[in-house]
Structure 1
Amino acid sequence: MSSDIPPPLGERIKGLFEPAPLMTWAMSHYIRVCVEAVFQKGEILAPILATRRLRDEAFGRFWVEFSTPAQNAPPPTTTIANEEDSPQPSKNAHGSSDLIPPLLKAANGIILDIGPGTGTQMPLLRSPSITAIYGPEPCVGLHAQLARRAAAEGLADKYYILPSGAASSELLPALRETGTGVVDEYERTGKGIFDTIICVRVLCSVPEMEKTVDELYTLLKPGGKVLVTEHVVNPWRTAKGSILARIAQGVYQLLGWSFFIGDCALDRDTESVLRKVADRDGGWEVVDLERSFSWTAMPYISGTLVKKSD
């Protein structure tokens, strides 16, 4: 599609409704989990007293289906992006998943793969230049499938599944528990642990995103890079943004998007947070971020940020 031609009206309208089937899908799992708890397990008050547990179980089931197309219909894809609005390696991207393969080709060294879910990105992380991968995944219901995927991809000997989130208060103890000594030098010098940090569809749901991103920046080695593909708040004030899509994001949030989709938020300004976190060092050495699908209720940023070397 020519960069001079905006997306057709039909594509713009479809972009407003993209989150709806995902939310309905996740909601159906939550209802099913609540019904099982009440009628099969006899936990009559579980929907009231154990909401967090039921939400985690339901989201785990949803995410397994969402990330395993063979078990279900493929998930909806984002509308076609125009060339100027997409990352350079993915000008013909039809969905957000198309942004990920060219991005992860740059991963190397010791990697932090934040929120790996069921491990759908593992086939892209088999480069011999990768020495170790640490995957903090707080949803323990996904760990079994994550372990199976690591074994299937031949990564079992260098993929470490961590039962933690991305916050340092959880992450560092989990890293110590691996027994690999990966945190030893960091504790001696404070100069970082990871050569590559991967953030794919995860910063939308981490608690206290600004604080977590700041901590991740600290854990990145000088010269290390962050590879990011994240859906963000619609840039409605720009020429390619959409005020209708921004309103739609707010409506989905009010209808319970975050509740059913693992604390995900559609309206985070993740790009600004990522850009600002390096200000204390005079900025990033390289910032190569591009926007895609800016007319939809799920616009994306994708690209690379490189920390300044010593």
Structure 2
Amino acid sequence: MTVNQIIGDSKNQIFANLGKHFFAWMMAANTSKYDKIVSDRKRSLFANLQGKVLEIGPGTGSNLPYYPKDIHWIGIEPNPDTHSSLHKQAAKLGLKIDIRIGSAEWLDAEDNSIDTVVSTFLLCSVPNIDYTLQAILRVLKPGGRFLFIEDVAPPQGSLLRQIQNTVSPIWKAMGDGCHPDKETWIALGKAGFSSINYERFDAQLPIVTPHIIGIATK
């Protein structure tokens, strides 16, 4: 490796780290407003969960307060730095949890073993959404459900879509891999679920305002 390559890699790493710090700051600044917008939706979406529930990318546990206490919760979280926060949050809530290392494209669970898979604000940032959805279908039991709240692209030709298309490369670098213009509903429709029901709503966040919330059944 040449000196220029080393310098270039260092610059890229510095930019990536700055981007992650900026994204974290932006999300923190909007967390209170976002929570007010999605809290009732989460409460309704997660109200009747039973059995084994696998959440992909739970982070520090923002969804844990909305889960029933008698479920068997499994979290696939690749960042070990968040695990202690998850355990503390679960202990405070009286929720038993099982945290596993993995990724959205490789879920550490047996085939046909999970009653419900959950993802929130995640699918915009997975490297390959098609692989992720196939992984979800693999672990779900027949009749199992995938519950999601995700930011998505606005309609083609809209001003916000034009803005998203323009800033997408920068947003991806500074937004921890998030593609703001991802047409997630199309990928869901092609994945092979037996039924998909979702609705759109406005999350009032910069750039990633359009969201969908719904249930896909295996």
Q: Give, in whole Å, the separation in 1 of the partners of 2:14 and 2:85.
A: 21
Distance 1:252 1:97, change over 3 A: farther
Q: Give, in whole Å, the separation in 2 of the partners of 1:63 and 1:119.
A: 15
1:160-309 equivalence runs, <5 A = 160-168=98-106, 171-172=107-108, 175=109, 183=110, 186=111, 192-236=112-156, 243-254=158-169, 256-278=170-192, 283-284=193-194, 286-293=195-202, 297-307=208-218
Distance 1:305 1:247, change over 3 A: same
1:261-295 per-position Cα deviation (integer Å, ceiling 9, x unaligned): 211110111111112211xxxx51x4221111299
1 or 2, which has the higher strand percentage? 2
Q: TM-score, normalised by structure 1?
A: 0.59
Q: Give, in whole Å, the separation in 1 of the partners of 2:8 and 2:41.
A: 40
Larger of the two Rg values belongs to structure:
1
Q: TM-score, normalised by structure 2?
A: 0.82
**1:251 Cα deviation (Å)?**
2.7
CA contact (8 A) 2:150 2:211 kept: yes
Which of residues 113, 137, 142 is equivalent to 2:77?
Answer: 137
Q: Which amino acid aligns with 1:230?
A: E
CA-atom RMSD, angstroms?
A: 3.2
Distance 1:229 1:216, change over 3 A: same
**1:228 Cα deviation (Å)?**
0.8
CA contact (8 A) 1:232 1:300 kept: yes
1:28-39 equivalence runs, <5 A = none
Q: Which amino acid aligns with 1:116?
A: P
Give the share of equivalent positions with the same residue, in percent. Answer: 29
CA contact (8 A) 2:54 2:114 kept: yes
**1:108 Cα deviation (Å)?**
1.8
**1:102 Cα deviation (Å)?**
1.1
CA contact (8 A) 1:60 1:142 kept: no
Q: Give, in whole Å, the separation in 2 of the partners of 1:207 and 1:260.
A: 15
